Amino acid sequence: MFSRNHRSRVTVARGSALEMEFKRGRFRLSLFSDPPEDTELQRKLDHEIRMREGACKLLAACSQREQALEATKSLLVCNSRILSYMGELQRRKEAQVLGKTGRRPSDSGPPAERSPCRGRICISDLRIPLMWKDTEYFKNKGDLHRWAVFLLLQLGEHIQDTEMILVDRTLTDISFQNNVLFTEAGPDFELRLELYGACVEEEGALAGAPKRLATKLSSSLGRSSGRRVRASLESAGGSGSSPILLPTPAVGGPRYHLLAHTTLTLVAVQDGFRTHDLTLASHEENPAWLPLYGSVCCRLVAQPLCMTQPTANGTLRVQQAGELQDWARVHGVLKGTSLFCYRQPEDADTGEEPLFTIAINKETRVRAGELDQAAGRPFTLSISNRYGEDEVTHTLQTESRGALHSWMEALWQLFFDMSQWKQCCDEIMKIETPAPRKPPQVLAKQGSLYHEMVTGDDQGWAGLRPKL
């Protein structure tokens, strides 16, 4: 059941955690009713609240194990996003209040003059190695347990998840095929990875539990007493009622547990496959315990906007190194670690090769000429690069004082972005666009040879999606 605040667009589930936070006074409805720049975030919050309500209804109607696992996963992701959006709205509201009332005395100090550009973060090729016991993996002994696992990834208020997969002792590692992309990140980003898992009980093991219990009781209580107990257990099981001595299972879906987590920062960015430590959050006594090796392997790359989008362009006159009198009139485009000099502006849009390129890197020196125009003295700046023992200098002439200021500002901003994004500005790292998420299918049983054998009746149901 929903209760809608008539003064705002917030939809609050009655009895939900969000409504309880309102009642406790931790959040005010006015916090969510301010429309200006928080409209998009507010819309996302409303959407997740509706999704959470739908996930609860779906979980209550689930009749198959795979459906219940997916519904419980969706519910956990929705709850995480709701809390994240609520926290971000609270932070923005506090920033608005501080902006209206002025800075606090403790916040004295000059504000930062520059802020680094934003960028895209992509993590892919996620693998988490497992560490099974010799008797389980090599000798294939013991009960064949299965776990349903997935990854929850959070960067700022943005939360994404991977597909859910089944894991058993026949696998040496957990492999996620998703490419997870975050389009809004700064160089100070913190990407948190959380591995969740739920132990999946097999239907056959559950169905055979009363008979195994009856066999143990008949052998331990004696022939006559054991026979009577065994008969009562089998009759109760055959009549469809709950067997004796076994508690009635509680109604509810599977329960996911946090198995491990880690946080990745700019230091972990590299255009290659790397291994990072995991912090284990579960122990062997936990029902959802999984023998993790304690590390995660992945490819984490970043693309600052200064490397993929032009930061300045305009008409320039360039005097190349070693030429004292010849000036070339070009159309300059500052993008990434290069100043591309084209014959005309249309060449930059059509993909034509530039006439020449001037390198801009962390070691480049830029010096501005006279800022005040005098007779016969143009507005110039020089760009110097050292190649071994030689220093190559290009002199650039702008059309006006304002153009000179604009080019100098763009260059200093680029140097600042390079100092913040560090190795991400050495060269452009390739990011593959993630494929659209496919709807969840029936989880295939994997593991032993027994589970790979399909009977004639099972083949007729292969590939069919579960129906509620």
- Helices 17-24, 65-101: crossing angle, 10 deg rounding: 30
Distance of alpha carbon 468 from alpha carbon 466, whole angstroms: 7
Q: Diameter of the chain by CA atoms?
A: 120
For 221-252, b/e burial (b = at least 16 CB within 10 A) is eeeeebeebbeebeebbeeeeebeeeeeeeee
pLDDT of residue 434: 78
Token readout for 84 is: 């994240």
Q: What is the pLDDT of residues 237-290, one digit of tens each?
A: 444 443 433 333 333 678 899 999 999 999 999 989 999 999 999 777 777 788
Centroid of chain to Cα 243: 46
Whole-number pLDDT of residue 309:
94
**Which amino acid appears at position 106 of this protein?**
S
Residue 295 has pLDDT above 50, yes or no: yes
Secondary structure (DSSP) of 364-377: -EEEE--SS-BTTB
- For residues 120 and 303, the answer to whether their CB atoms sit within 8 Å is yes
Amino acid at 434: P
Least confident segment among 4-13, 16-25, 271-280, 417-426: 4-13
Q: Which secondary structure element, helix H or strand E, spans residue 230, and what is its range?
A: helix 223-238
What's the mean pLDDT when you consider all of the chain?
A: 77
Determine the pLDDT at residue 354. Answer: 94
Task: Say what the pLDDT of residue 306 is.
Answer: 95
Element (H, E) at 196: strand 191-200
Distances in whole angstroms, Cα of residue 128 to Cα of each of 110, 254, 343: 45, 22, 52
Whole-number Cα distances in Å, 133 to 130, 139, 258, 291, 377: 10, 9, 22, 9, 79
Distance (Å, whole) CA 55 – CA 52: 5
Q: What is the pLDDT of residue 101?
A: 57
The number of CA neighbours under 13 Å toward the Cβ of 248 is: 4
Per the DSSP assignment, residues forming a β-bridge with 368 are 381
Model pLDDT, residue 326: 76
Tell me how far apart the alpha carbons of residues 340 and 74 are, in angstroms, rounded to a whole number. 48
15-19, 31-35, 40-44, 330-334: which has the minimum mean pLDDT? Answer: 31-35
Q: What is the pLDDT of residue 156?
A: 94
Those residues whose C-beta lies under 8 Å from the C-beta of residue 194, and which sit 6 or more positions away, are 151, 152, 153, 154, 258, 260, 261
Mean pLDDT is lowest, of 89-103, 195-209, 258-272, 375-389, for 195-209
Angstrom distance (rounded) from CA 382 to CA 396: 6
The pTM of the full predicted model, rounded to 2 decimals, is: 0.72
Asked if 60 and 468 touch (Cβ cutoff 8 Å), the reply is no
